[in-house]
Each structure stands twice: as structure tokens, then as C-alpha cells.
């Protein structure tokens, strides 16, 4: 089945922001449940709600039949749900459903508001202080760091008792409400990084993003240029939080988080479109 959905039919940006807020609030509630005494704190550890926990505990489970401590079979269910979303819509999990992606987007938005900055003025990239855009010579190699992180974690998981990322887990640092000095350190680095570079964790270090990247090539829900009505105005490049260059010609780029902000900003009928099927 092939169908195209035109952007003017609904506000993708508003829907996405609403969903991101719901995800953030929902994750805080999960965090809150685990610091409350008694019944409310039951229902599995905070870690067991994590999709990446499913990846961290996968190899130990396959080899020994036991999950790592603080994870359980619920991690595999959450992971399967995340992979299901990726199978249908690529890294849309990152753009729409990940609580860390949402927090990074909020931090960038609030930083811009504080500094009185806009992404573009009359279709051109504004001169801004923050967020920074790293030079290509640094940005390009750093983009591979997340794949290295993933490989190291998979190997390390075979000899660990707890998930390898646990002591530095960003989701615990931001949402678990049970802090250690390492988690405070992680939180400060994460917030500082997010102020300095838009979606810095997603671009450079997130092992779950690395896992989902491949699905952009095969998912049926994706952006396309059906008719070549694009006039190369560059608005989509300016809008892209992942700093993908020449967006119209890289619509299945592994870095694309399917946020649809490029589609939202495109003013040319018949250029970018959302394709299903």
C-alpha cells in the first residue's frame, strides 16, 4: 500500500511536543513510584522499564538463561516494543518517544528562548551563540562513538553482574529520583552537553540510537521527495536537530530521528512528503 500524507492536514510539531511531554511526565511517575514506600514502589525496578536494559541483558540471558541484576523479562518487552516502532517508522522512537530525546529538545528550546535566538530569519540560518555546531572534522568521527559504545557495552555485559551502563545511566540520572554521586555527575554533564550541542547525546553517544539507526533504511513510514519541487532553499537543513546536511537528498539517513521538523518547515508543495508503505 502506498499513501502520502500531506503536512497541512495536522500539526506534526504540536503533536510531537505533546507526546514528548506525556513521555517525560510518565517517566517521572515511574521514577516516583520507585521512591515511594510500600505497595507503590512495587512493579519491578526502575531499570526494568528501560529498552536499552533489554540490550544490555540480552547476551547474558542467551548464554546463561539469567538476566543481569536489576533487569528482568520486562526489559525485553519494552525493547521489543521499541524495535517494533523502529521497524515501522525508523528512529521515530528517538524523535517522539524517548524521554532523553525530549529533555534534550526542551533544553535547546529553553536555551534559545533565554538567549532570544531563532533558528532562522527570513529562511536563512541565524547567527547564534548556542547551540554550537561542531566542526565537521570533530563531528564526523564523534558520530561513530555511539556504535563503539554499543559494542563495548555488549562485550562488557557478558562479564557484569549489573547492566554495564547502570552507574552512569542517563535515564536514571534524570528520572529515577534516587541519586548517587556518579548519577549527579552524569546529570550535570548531560545538561551541560545538551545546552552546548543540540541532541549531543543522541548524535554522539547513545547506544540505543545506534541500535535503531539501521531501521531508517527499511521502515515503511519515511520521508520522501516524490516530485522534485525542492528549490534547495535549505530551510530543512536549518531546522534539523541532528544537523543532517542536505536533508532532501538524505531522507533515510541513519542519524534522522524522524522528528518531521523538516517537513513542517518546508513551504514548497510537492517537495517533502511523509510516505506510508
Binding site for ligand SF4 (CB under 6 A): 94, 98, 100-101, 201-202, 206, 208-209, 239-242, 244, 247, 256-262
H-type alpha helices, the chain: 12-33, 51-56, 58-64, 73-89, 92, 99-115, 136-143, 145-157, 170-171, 181-196, 200-204, 207-213, 235-239, 261-265
Nearer of residues 195 and 259 to ligand SF4, judged by Cβ: 259
CB of 42 to ligand SF4, least distance (A): 27
Residue with nearest beta carbon to ligand SF4: 209
DSSP 8-state code for residue 162 = S
CB of 118 to ligand SF4, least distance (A): 16
Nearer of residues 66 and 140 to ligand SF4, judged by Cβ: 140
47 grid coordinates: 531499570
CB of 24 to ligand SF4, least distance (A): 12
CB 245 within 8 A of CB 232: no
Nearer of residues 45 and 264 to ligand SF4, judged by Cβ: 264
Nearer of residues 153 and 259 to ligand SF4, judged by Cβ: 259
Nearer of residues 186 and 241 to ligand SF4, judged by Cβ: 241
Nearer of residues 74 and 242 to ligand SF4, judged by Cβ: 242
Nearer of residues 14 and 66 to ligand SF4, judged by Cβ: 14
CB of 64 to ligand SF4, least distance (A): 27
Q: What count of other Cβ atoms lies within 10 Å of the Cβ of residue 221? A: 16
Nearer of residues 74 and 198 to ligand SF4, judged by Cβ: 198
Cα–Cα dist 164/154, whole Å: 9
The distance of Cα 134 from the centroid of its chain, to the nearest Å, equals 19
Cα–Cα dist 94/101, whole Å: 6
Cα–Cα dist 208/91, whole Å: 10
Cα–Cα dist 199/155, whole Å: 26
Closest Cα to residue 273, out of 92, 2, 1, 7?
7
CB of 228 to ligand SF4, least distance (A): 17
Strand-pairing partners, residue 5, are 274
Cα–Cα dist 170/108, whole Å: 17
CB of 98 to ligand SF4, least distance (A): 3
CB of 233 to ligand SF4, least distance (A): 14
CB of 50 to ligand SF4, least distance (A): 10
CB 46 within 8 A of CB 65: no
- 231: helix, strand or coil: coil
Amino acid at each position: 500500500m502506498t499513501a502520502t500524507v500531506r503536512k497541512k492536514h495536522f500539526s506534526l510539531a504540536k503533536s510531537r511536543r505533546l507526546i514528548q511531554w506525556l513521555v517525560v511526565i510518565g517517566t517521572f511517575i515511574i521514577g516516583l513510584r520507585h521512591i515511594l514506600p510500600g505497595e507503590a514502589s512495587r512493579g519491578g525496578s526502575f531499570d526494568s522499564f528501560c529498552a536499552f536494559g533489554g540490550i544490555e541483558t540480552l547476551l547474558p540471558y542467551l548464554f546463561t538463561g539469567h538476566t543481569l541484576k536489576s533487569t528482568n523479562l520486562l526489559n525485553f518487552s519494552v525493547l521489543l516494543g521499541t524495535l517494533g516502532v523502529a521497524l515501522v517508522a525508523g528512529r521515530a522512537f528517538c524523535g517522539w518517544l524517548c524521554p532523553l530525546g525530549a529533555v534534550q529538545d526542551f533544553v535547546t528550546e529553553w536555551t534559545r528562548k533565554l538567549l532570544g535566538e531563532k533558528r532562522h530569519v527570513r529562511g536563512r540560518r541565524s547567527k547564534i551563540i548556542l547551540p554550537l555546531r561542531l566542526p565537521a572534522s570533530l563531528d564526523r568521527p564523534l558520530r561513530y562513538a555511539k556504535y563503539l559504545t554499543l559494542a563495548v557495552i555488549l562485550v562488557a555485559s557478558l562479564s557484569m553482574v549489573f547492566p554495564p551502563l547502570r552507574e552512569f545511566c542517563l535515564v536514571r540520572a534524570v528520572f529515577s529520583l534516587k541519586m548517587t554521586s556518579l548519577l549527579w555527575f552524569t546529570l550535570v554533564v548531560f545538561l551541560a552537553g545538551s545546552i552546548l550541542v543540540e541532541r549531543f547525546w543522541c548524535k554522539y553517544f547513545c547506544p540505543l540510537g545506534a541500535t535503531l539507526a539501521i531501521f531508517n533504511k527499511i521502515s515503511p513510514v519515511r520521508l520522501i521527495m516524490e516530485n522534485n519541487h525542492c528549490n534547495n532553499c535549505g530551510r530543512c537543513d536549518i531546522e534539523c536537530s541532528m544537523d543532517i546536511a542536505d536533508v532532501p537528498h538524505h531522507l533515510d539517513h541513519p542519524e534522522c530521528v524522524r522528528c518531521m521538523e523538516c517537513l513542517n518547515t518546508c513551504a514548497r508543495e510537492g517537495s517533502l512528503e511523509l510516505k506510508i508503505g
